[in-house]
Structure 1
Amino acid sequence: MTKTATTLNGLVQALNDGIDFYEHAARQTTNTAYQDLFLKMSRLKSMIAADLKAEIAHEGDSPDQDGTWLGSVRKGYADLKATLSKDSDAAYIGSLEEQEDRVLHAFRDALGGDQPPKVRELATRYLPEVQQMHDRMRALKKAKAA
């Protein structure tokens, strides 16, 4: 597997973790505004992941279709926190914001000078959207805490 495909697969896995987590959180909340937001975030991540998967396939490699085991653990931990919390939505939002931190960090790492040019190009293209998703969840987390 090329370095480009390996790095892009890492980004795809981080995105897939977020896709699954947002869809799960949308099913868990009864707040329709949160359901809509969570599903929108999932769709945005899916579109980015699809473009990255296309580039991986163009490289002649197989794109990852799943997230990581750590993403599954985080989702389970969020379920536990939500069960024990007075405000389950706040628990999910906090955990989703942490997931956004992970995705943002992965995209910023992909901008590094030692990354292949195609990786840097795609990370640069999608970093503004990734940053916006991160900022949206951070603002929602702060609003819930206030």
Structure 2
Amino acid sequence: MKYSEDVANKLNSLLEKNYDSEKGYQMAAENVKNPQLKEFFNQRAKERYDFGHELKSEIKSFGQEPDKGTSLKGDIHRGWMDIKTSLSSDNEEAVLEEAIRGEKAAVEEYNEVLKSEEIPSSTGNVLMKQRNSITDALNKVKSLEQWKD
């Protein structure tokens, strides 16, 4: 596999995860009544949309085509989240727990790609900025969950 294809594949994997996160956050915003949580989830969905555009630009800079949709795993996760929140007596708590789980996974995925020696520093800077923003969101979600207790 050529260098540019390998890097683009790694970036496409992150792009797919951002599509999944965007859809997940949109769903979360629809499943909560608390206006603060709704706003937080809508902001995260917009952020992931923006991350997707940044990743698409990076992928195109390697002469490759960006992926166009969510992953099957993400679709299944959202389906599970729907079921879990509909059965839960505390919708907001269940949604926050799923957001924490998803953000932890996203940080791990970004860290894994950032470890790759073939990622150029300019692309690494974009990925670090996104990862740091996801880490900030994770900390915010954790604080929101503690506030609920």
Give the TM-score normalised by structure 1. 0.90
CA distance in 2, matches of 1:54, 1:8: 10
Give, in whole Å, the separation in 1 of the partners of 2:90 and 2:131.
Answer: 31
Question: Where do residues 62-141 of structure 1 align in structure 2 (5 Å cutoff)?
Answer: 62-117=65-120, 118-141=122-145
* Larger CA deviation: 115-124 vs 77-86: 115-124
Matched residue SS, 1:24: helix
Q: CA deviation at 1:67?
A: 1.8
Q: Is the 8 A contact 2:58 2:123 kept in 1?
A: no
Structure 2 distance, partners of 1:137, 1:64, is 28
Give the number of equivalent residue pairs.
145
Q: Percent of aligned pairs with the same residue?
A: 21
Quote the RMSD (CA, aligned, Å): 1.6
Gaps of 5+ in 1: none
Q: Which residue number in structure 1 is paired with residue 17 of structure 2?
A: 14
The answer (yes or no) to whether the contact 1:111–1:119 under 8 Å persists in 2 is: no
TM-score, normalization by structure 2:
0.89
1:48 aligned counterpart, secondary structure: helix
Q: Please state how far the C-alpha of 1:57 moved relative to its aligned partner.
A: 1.4
